[in-house]
Amino acid sequence: MQFSKLRLTGFKSFVDPTDLFISDGLTGVVGPNGCGKSNLLEALRWVMGENRPTSMRGSGMEDVIFAGAATRPARNFAEVSIHIDNSERLAPQGFNDADYLEIVRRITRDVGSAYKVNGKDVRARDVQMLFADASTGAHSPALVRQGQIAELINAKPTARRRILEEAAGISGLYQRRHEAELK
């Protein structure tokens, strides 16, 4: 499973549809302060099901919607899609019947978030589990936020353990066990 393209529409500073092609060897994004580098990383986490506004540097979920600028009015929705090359058929069960996966998340003011995988409506949990089982996702240790290294050094042992479990790819199992125990 390989990410191939990220598309942002009305997400934070990316008001017009913007494509980021993720090709082999891409390890970083550089640019002047405020050009949207961190917003790109947040879009990637958001489309994988991130649901904590604080980790999107906002106070409410709708803060990801383009809020307007001097010359442009605010938008009513934000949408991010991620294209995944699945030609090697490594996607988790239930998502593994196509050569590519397109995951779309859209948030509309006063309505909330909706998710689609290859055009079909799915739940947030389905998208979160898809990525958790593929050892990636919104909390993946592969995505390093600004300031996160300092947080890691200062973390309590239980928080550090969670990070290691995420890296080992077993957090999907914990989520399932937790849900089974609630039933």
- 39 labelled as ligand-binding? yes
DSSP secondary structure string for all residues of 38-60 = HHHHHHHHHHTT---GGGGTSSS
Is residue 139 near ligand ATP by the rule CB under 6 A?
no
The answer to the question of residue 13 lying near ligand ATP (CB under 6 A) is: yes
DSSP code of residue 175? H
> Using CB under 5 A as the criterion, what x/- string covers residues 31-70 for binding Mg ion?
-------x--------------------------------
Helix crossing, 171-182 with 124-133: angle to 10°? Answer: 140
> Is 118 part of any known ligand binding site?
no
Cβ contacts of 6 within 8 Å, gap of 6 or more: 19, 20, 22, 40, 43, 44, 47, 80, 81, 82, 83
Among ligand ATP, Mg ion, none, what binds residue 157 when CB lies within 5 to 8 Å by partner kind? Answer: none
Positions in the binding site for Mg ion (CB under 5 A): 38
Positions in the binding site for ligand ATP (CB under 6 A): 12-13, 31, 33-39, 63, 65-67, 146
